[in-house]
Amino acid sequence: MYLSPQQSRALYEQAVREHFAILAINADSPAAIVDALEAAKAVDAPVIIESSLWQLSSHTFGHGDAVLGLQRFAGMVQQYADSEAYKDVPVIYHTDHIKGPQTIDILKPAIQGIERSGASNFQASSISLDSSELSADENIALISHLCTFAQESECALTLEMEAGVDDGLTSVEEARYLLESVEKAHPGYLVLWAPGVGTQHGYSEDGFPGFSTEQVSKQQGLASEICGRDMGLVLHGSSGLCDEQLAAAVHAGVIKVNWSTDSLACRSAAAAAYYKNHSAELERSNAAFKQTAMDNGLQTAVAEAYRPVVEERMGVLNSHGKGASFCKLEVMECRS
Residue 236 near Zn ion by CB under 5 A: yes
Ramachandran area for residue 64 (φ above 0: left; ψ -120 to 50: alpha; else beta)? left
* DSSP one-letter string for 303-336: HHHHHHHHHHHHHHTT-TT-SHHHHHHHHHHT--
Window 184-203: residues binding Zn ion (CB under 5 A):
none
Residue 160 Cβ, how far from Zn ion at the closest point, in Å? 10
Residue 72 near Zn ion by CB under 5 A: no
The β-bridge relationship of strands 190-195 and 232-235 is: parallel
Which segment (37-45, 61-69, 213-221, 257-265) binds Zn ion by CB under 5 A?
Answer: 257-265
Identify which of residues 174 and 281 has a Cβ nearer to Zn ion in the complex: 174
Residue 97 Cβ, how far from Zn ion at the closest point, in Å? 6
Task: Count the neighbouring beta carbons within 10 Å of the beta carbon of residue 334.
Answer: 6
The β-bridge relationship of strands 119-122 and 114-116 is: antiparallel
Identify which of residues 212 and 258 has a Cβ nearer to Zn ion in the complex: 258
Residue 9 near Zn ion by CB under 5 A: no
Residue 132 Cβ, how far from Zn ion at the closest point, in Å? 9
Residue 182 Cβ, how far from Zn ion at the closest point, in Å? 19
Residue 16 CA, distance from chain mean position? 16
Q: Which of 66, 64, 24 has the alpha carbon at shortest distance from 46?
A: 24
Residue 237 Cβ, how far from Zn ion at the closest point, in Å? 6
Contact (CB, 8 A) for 316 and 247: yes
Which segment (30-38, 61-69, 214-222, 251-259) binds Zn ion by CB under 5 A?
Answer: 251-259
Identify which of residues 41 and 236 has a Cβ nearer to Zn ion in the complex: 236
Residue 82 Cβ, how far from Zn ion at the closest point, in Å? 27
Residue at shortest CB range from Zn ion: 236
Identify which of residues 162 and 311 has a Cβ nearer to Zn ion in the complex: 162
Angle at 109 between CA 106 and CA 110, to 5 degrees: 80
CA distance 27 to 39: 13
Contact (CB, 8 A) for 208 and 176: no
- Looking at the DSSP bridge assignments, the partners of residue 5 are none
Identify which of residues 38 and 96 has a Cβ nearer to Zn ion in the complex: 96
- Binding interface with Zn ion (CB under 5 A): 236, 258
